[in-house]
Amino acid sequence: ATTPQAAARTGRVPARSITVSPQRRLVTVRAVEAPGYESPPLSEEVAAKIEELGLDFERSGLKYLSNDARMRAMDRKSVKFEKTKNEKCGSHMWSDVSELAQLIRDGKTKWEDLDLDDVDVRLKWSGLFHRRKRTPGRFMMRLKVPNGELTAAQLRYLGDCIAPYGADGCADITTRANMQIRGVQLEDADRIIAGLQERGLTSLMSGMDNVRNITGSPIAGIDPHELLDTRPLCHELNAAITANGAGNAALTNLPRKINIGLSSTRDDFAHCHINDVGLKAVRDPASGEVGFNVELGGYFSIKRNVVSISGDTFLTQEQVVPYCMALLEVFRDHGARNDRQKARLMWLVEAMGVDAFREAIEQRMGQTLRREVHVAYDDVWARRDVMGVHPQKQPGMFWAGACVPAGRMHTADFYALADAAEKYGDGTVRLTVEENVIVPNVPEAKVEALLADPFFQHFPVNGGNLLRGLVSCTGAQFCPLALIETKNRALELVRQLEEQLDIPSLVRMHWTGCPNSCGQAQVGDIGLMGAPAKLDGKAVEGVKVFLGGKIGENPELAKQFEAGLPVEHLLPRLKELLISEFGATPKGQAEEAA
Ligand code: SRM
Ligand code: SF4
């Protein structure tokens, strides 16, 4: 076999040639031998197929799949991603990343010379997304922040991580109440990951065909209206799925990504309706017990956007982790692998039927599950706005929800936020799926000082009615799939619109750079999705406009209102819409009329 050094001289380093250091072996063993799982024995048919294709079973992603799933993953018609996983499971990157970083640090290779599939695809299993198209050689690192909860020490560490990258280093709060840091170079990645793990965080299993960040209520534990605190369950679930952040090979080769969210009130802060698995807390009227009704299959994609359907299951709090683990195994072993547009959970639930799907999970759990409980409310619950200052369930304590414009943060912001969390609160913060931040546990006596603190002018607690509701995906600045620039454009438009209009109440504007809808255009009061457009016969950046998204108790997806709108025409169109649909008035008009 070629040595990495020789391969580096001749071109790409075949992934296979990476030296196996004792350290790598240790990490790989810990990651692969995830607790409680055994690799199903190979059937003769599968063994023959593996041989025919010349695959290395131990290295492949086939190890923990059922024999059926193995056959589907090796199907000739199967998609490129499955082939890439069959050649080498992404889980190997949990340790290979140290090897690669060391080789680059030692000057033995450069990222440009490494295996393309490792750099651009498999590193996503370690949370490293190469931004080849926009910033070659720089990676976005996606973390996992269960329930969006971070400590001051973790915030400072994130600031430290991006500080060395100067203008290339920044970070984003994501639409899954998560954090992504940017500008990362591969030679630093293993040390950053080790630092994350020392601080109880991880980036492993955050991309590709893995479970995404588990979302809960951003005001868990402090909310006067909550039925339960979602934090312990989000943390337990994340720990079980990721084997405490070390990586869990048994659950890492799923057919596709999968989103799990937990809601503790009728506000549904986690947007259960657009999660593959939505767990909605309810109190069983018969027993008084608080558990979760399960919703299944909500998702957005280029081809299909669908709200979840009832999973006709009620879970006790103790059943949440075993249920999700069993569900993931069912998804792993039965989900489609030959068409990535038909691989999300909804397709499997529809193919099996809700009852058979529940039974398959029951079989793995070894217990029968209760059916969904029906809870009738005789009032209408308006989803609360968590921005601003609000009393907690703990008497004399408040939370402060602060807008982080478009979710973008820089080194200094991390340090200042950590300081503010310690100075006014208990040294923790919560991220929201609206890409904002909450400082909990502020004693009443400190609220005034918090509001006057210059930091909270920068991240305003009482932001304008558009800024407070602004959500934006990454867009063309970094994302290779983007059709338009989003964050900076969105912020500039919000500035102009708030300057020119009086907007009487919160308007949730969601920007998304392409139809994948990471910015959840269909969730907004106004949704803007990057799309082709023409101006004077020439192709220009454009958007589709969506209107009428409803969130909370009776959610509805926004409907497409207009397509092919050139971004140049956005300001006047948004003004018209804010005036006609949201009661906005041009600034100064009210006084003039008086
Ligand atoms: Fe997303 C792919 C960013 C939430 C649907 N998403 C991507 C990639 C990885 C594309 C790429 O290869 O670069 C984007 C990385 C850009 C970058 O540099 O940041 C990306 N997605 C994001 C984030 C950062 C948007 C944001 O600004 O907040 C969000 C990260 C969440 C997290 O912390 O894990 C993000 N993505 C979402 C959501 C919203 C949600 O989860 O509620 C969706 C729609 C909901 C869903 O998944 O059902 C979403 N992203 C997609 C899809 C379409 C999935 C599909 O089934 O087809 C893709 C493309 C894909 O997976 O093939 C995608
Ligand atoms: Fe990128 Fe499109 Fe997702 Fe925006 S919606 S982050 S442009 S993939």
pLDDT digit string (tens) for 496-539?
999 999 999 999 999 999 999 999 999 999 999 999 999 999 99
ipTM more than 0.95? yes
Helix ranges (DSSP H) in 247-404: 320-334, 345-352, 354-365
Measured CA to CA, the distance from residue 124 to residue 207 in angstroms comes to: 5
pLDDT at 18: 32
Write the residue with the smallest CA distance to atom 6 of ligand 1. 518
Alpha carbon of 442 to ligand 2 centroid (Å) = 35
Distance from chain centroid for Cα 33: 26
Task: Give yes or no for residue 520 CB within 6 A of ligand 2.
Answer: no
- Average the pLDDT over 24-47 and give the result: 63
Alpha carbon of 398 to ligand 1 centroid (Å) = 33
Give φ, ψ of 128 to 5 degrees. -105, 115
pLDDT at 17: 31
The C-alpha angle with vertex 545 and arms to 539 and 550, in degrees rounded to 5, equals: 160
Collapsing DSSP to helix, strand or coil, 562 comes out as strand
Q: How many helices (H) and strands (E) does the chain have?
A: 19, 21
pLDDT at 473: 98
Distance from chain centroid for Cα 21: 33
For the chain, the average pLDDT equals: 92
% of the chain with per-residue pLDDT over 70: 93
Strands 260-263 and 277-283: parallel
CA atoms within 13 A on the CB side of 527: 28
Band (78; pLDDT cuts 50, 70, 90)? confident
Residues 342-380 as b/e (b if ≥16 CB within 10 A, e otherwise) read: bbbbbbbbeeeebeebbebbeebbeeebeebbeeeeeee
> In this model, does residue 29 exceed pLDDT 90?
no
Task: Give yes or no for residue 512 CB within 6 A of ligand 2.
Answer: yes
Band (76; pLDDT cuts 50, 70, 90)? confident
Alpha carbon of 484 to ligand 2 centroid (Å) = 9
- Report the Cα–Cα distance between both ends of the chain, in Å, rounded: 85
Measured CA to CA, the distance from residue 297 to residue 215 in angstroms comes to: 16
pLDDT at 515: 98
Atom of ligand 1 nearest to the CA of 487: 27
Collapsing DSSP to helix, strand or coil, 400 comes out as strand
Band (275; pLDDT cuts 50, 70, 90)? very high
pLDDT at 9: 29
Q: At what angle do helices 570-582 and 487-500 cross, to 10 degrees?
A: 60
Pocket test for ligand 2, best of 131, 140, 481 (most atoms within 8 A of CB): 481
- Residue entry with tokens 């918090």: 450
Does residue 275 contact residue 261 with C-beta atoms inside 8 Å? yes
Instruction: Please name the residues in contact with 148: beta carbons below 8 A apart, sequence gap of 6 or more.
Output: 177, 178, 213, 215, 216, 218, 430, 431, 432, 433
Write the residue with the smallest CA distance to atom 4 of ligand 2. 513
Nearest Cα neighbor of 389 from 222, 177, 151, 216 is 222
H or E stretch at 478: none
Measured CA to CA, the distance from residue 234 to residue 262 in angstroms comes to: 8
Cα-based distances in Å from 477 to 35, 135, 474, 486: 40, 9, 7, 8
Collapsing DSSP to helix, strand or coil, 500 comes out as helix
Q: What is the DSSP letter of 472?
A: E
Nearest Cα neighbor of 103 from 39, 175, 9 is 9
Residue type, 345: L
- Average the pLDDT over 142-148 and give the result: 98
Which CB contacts under 8 angstroms, 24+ apart, belong to 275-281? 275/215, 275/299, 275/308, 276/308, 276/344, 276/345, 276/346, 277/311, 277/324, 277/327, 277/345, 278/308, 279/315, 279/320, 281/226, 281/227, 281/228, 281/230
- Average the pLDDT over 141-164 and give the result: 98
pLDDT at 31: 36
Pocket test for ligand 1, best of 201, 516, 523, 528 (most atoms within 8 A of CB): 516
Does residue 362 contact residue 368 with C-beta atoms inside 8 Å? yes
Give the catalytic positions in this structure. Answer: 142, 256-257, 513, 518-519
pLDDT digit string (tens) for 411-422?
999 999 999 999
> In this model, does residue 25 exceed pLDDT 50?
no
> In this model, does residue 4 exceed pLDDT 90?
no
H or E stretch at 277: strand 277-283
Collapsing DSSP to helix, strand or coil, 98 comes out as helix
- Residue entry with tokens 């002018």: 457
Give φ, ψ of 86 to 5 degrees. -70, -35
Instruction: Please name the residues in contact with 569: beta carbons below 8 A apart, sequence gap of 6 or more.
Output: none
- Residue entry with tokens 């909550």: 226
Write the residue with the smallest CA distance to atom 38 of ligand 1. 518
Is 174 exposed, middle or buried, given 0-12, 13-18 or 19+ CB atoms closer than 10 A? buried
- Average the pLDDT over 359-373 and give the result: 97
Atom of ligand 2 nearest to the CA of 482: 7
List ligand 1's pocket residues with C-beta within 6 A.
129, 140, 142, 172, 174-176, 178, 180, 212-213, 257, 259, 274, 299-302, 344, 473-474, 478-481, 516-518, 520
- Average the pLDDT over 221-242 and give the result: 96
Beta-bridge mates of residue 140: 129, 182
Q: Strand 408-409: give its sheet, edge to edge.
A: 128-130, 139-142, 179-184, 170-173, 408-409
pLDDT at 333: 97
Does residue 332 contact residue 89 with C-beta atoms inside 8 Å? no
Band (311; pLDDT cuts 50, 70, 90)? very high
pLDDT at 37: 76
Cα-based distances in Å from 198 to 92, 131, 441: 20, 26, 25
% of the chain with per-residue pLDDT over 90: 91
Measured CA to CA, the distance from residue 206 to residue 141 in angstroms comes to: 9
pLDDT digit string (tens) for 540-588?
999 999 999 999 999 999 999 999 999 999 999 999 999 999 999 999 8
Measured CA to CA, the distance from residue 292 to residue 308 in angstroms comes to: 15
- Residue entry with tokens 């589907």: 72
> In this model, does residue 12 exceed pLDDT 70?
no
- Top pLDDT among 25 and 268 is at 268
Residues 102-114 as b/e (b if ≥16 CB within 10 A, e otherwise) read: bbbeeebbebebb
Collapsing DSSP to helix, strand or coil, 576 comes out as helix
Least confident of 29-33, 124-128, 404-408: 29-33
Give φ, ψ of 397 to 5 degrees. -115, 150
